[in-house]
C-alpha cells in the first residue's frame, strides 16, 4: 500500500514537508515510550535541564527549495518525558527567545503521552527563554542546570552551529562538568563550540558519538523526505573537529562517552531518554 503513496514533497506555502511515502516510512503514529520509573528520582526541583531548540523553520536546499523543518517532536518530547520521570524539569531556550520551530508533521498523532508533555510545555515552546540573555547574564540563574539537551530534527542545523551564545554555553557546560545530551541531528549544534576557531578549541575532540549519518541524508531526497540535496553535511564537519561517528545506519542505538550522551535517530528517543535519565541519577 505504501508503495502507491506519492514521493513528492508537500508544499506548505513557503517550503516543503516530507512526502506521503516518506512519512509512511519514518513518521509513526505512536512511539515506543515505555513509561520507565526511576526509584531514586531527583527530588531537588532546583535542578533542571537546559534545552536548546531552534527558532528557524526553513532549510534552503542546494536547489533553492526550502525544507520545512525544526526540532523533531519525538526526539524532543520522549527524552523530556524520561527526564521528567527522573525528576528533572526542563527550561526551553532558543537563540533569541523566539518560538521553537517544531516539525509538527512528525507529531505522533495517537501517542497521548507525547502529546501530553507537549501540552505541558506548550507555553515554554511558544515563549522560550533567550540564550542571548542567559549568556549576557554570565550564565547565572535561579536554578542549577545539570545538563544541556540538544534535540534533533534538521532544525538543529539552522542557526545553532554558528551561534556564539551557544558556543559559550557549551564551553560553560564542559568547564562546569555538566552532561551534554544530543540526539539525531542534535550533535550538529556542537559545531558552535569551535565557531571561528579550529579543532584545538573543540571540547569534544576525541569523543565518540552515535548520531544521524550523513550517508542517509544524501539518500532522503530520493523518497521526497527533503525537497533537494542537503546544503551541507554536519557529520563531516564534526569529524573534521575530531569526533568519531560510530554508526552509518539508524537502529535506535545510543552511546555515552564521558559526559556526552548521544542517540542515532527518532528510533533511539526512548532508550536515549532512559540513558540520559540514568546517567544524571548516577545509575
Determine which one of 181, 184, 260, 280 is catalytic. Answer: 184
Phi, psi of 15 (to 5 degrees): -135, -160
Q: Quickly count: other Cβ atoms within 10 Å of residue 220's Cβ.
A: 18
Pairing of strands 16-17, 10-11: antiparallel
Interacting residues of 174 by C-beta distance below 8 A, sequence separation 6+: 180, 203
Which residue in 154, 217, 225, 163 sits closest to 185, CA to CA? Answer: 154
Contact 44, 88 (CB under 8 A): no
Concerning whether 184 is annotated as a catalytic residue, the answer is: yes
Please tell me the number of Cα atoms within 13 Å of 130 on its side-chain side: 9
Using the CB atoms, write b or e for 38-76: b if 16+ within 10 Å.
beeebeeeebbbbbbbbbbbbbebeeebbbbbbbbbbbb
According to DSSP, the residues that pair with 71 across neighbouring strands are 102
Catalytic positions = 184
Amino acid at each position: 500500500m505504501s508503495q502507491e503513496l506519492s514521493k513528492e514533497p508537500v508544499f506548505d506555502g513557503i517550503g516543503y514537508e516530507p512526502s506521503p511515502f516518506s512519512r509512511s516510512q519514518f513518521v509513526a503514529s505512536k512511539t515506543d515510550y515505555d513509561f520507565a520509573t526511576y526509584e531514586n528520582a531527583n527530588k531537588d526541583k532546583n535542578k533542571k535541564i537546559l534545552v536548546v531548540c531552534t527558532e528557524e523553520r526553513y532549510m534552503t536546499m542546494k536547489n533553492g527549495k526550502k525544507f520545512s523543518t525544526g526540532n523533531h517532536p519525538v526526539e524532543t518530547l520522549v527524552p523530556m518525558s524520561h527526564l521528567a520521570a527522573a525528576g528533572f524539569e526542563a527550561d526551553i531556550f532558543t537563540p533569541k527567545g523566539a518560538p521553537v520551530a517544531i516539525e509538527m508533521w512528525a507529531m505522533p498523532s495517537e501517542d497521548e503521552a507525547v502529546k501530553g508533555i507537549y501540552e505541558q510545555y506548550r507555553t515554554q515552546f511558544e515563549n522560550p527563554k533567550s540564550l542571548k540573555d542567559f549568556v549576557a547574564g554570565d550564565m547565572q540563574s535561579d536554578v542549577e542546570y545539570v545538563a544541556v539537551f540538544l534535540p534533533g530534527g534538521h532544525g538543529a542545523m539552522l542557526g545553532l552551529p554558528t551561534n556564539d551564545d551557544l558556543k559559550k554555553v557549551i564551553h560553560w557546560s564542559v568547564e562546569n562538568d555538566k552532561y551534554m545530551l544530543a540526539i539525531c541531528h542534535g550533535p550538529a549544534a556542537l559545531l558552535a563550540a569551535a565557531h571561528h576557531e579550529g579543532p584545538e578549541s573543540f571540547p569534544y575532540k576525541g569523543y565518540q558519538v552515535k548520531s544521524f549519518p550523513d550517508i542517509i541524508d544524501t539518500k532522503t531526497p530520493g523518497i521526497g523526505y527533503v525537497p533537494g540535496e542537503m546544503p551541507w553535511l554536519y557529520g563531516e564537519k564534526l569529524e573534521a573537529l575530531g569526533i568519531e561517528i560510530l554508526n552509518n545506519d539508524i537502529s535506535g542505538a545510543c552511546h555515552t562517552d564521558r559526559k556526552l550522551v548521544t542517540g542515532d535517530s527518532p528510533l533511539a528517543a526512548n532508550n536515549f531518554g532512559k540513558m540520559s535519565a540514568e546517567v544524571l541519577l548516577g545509575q
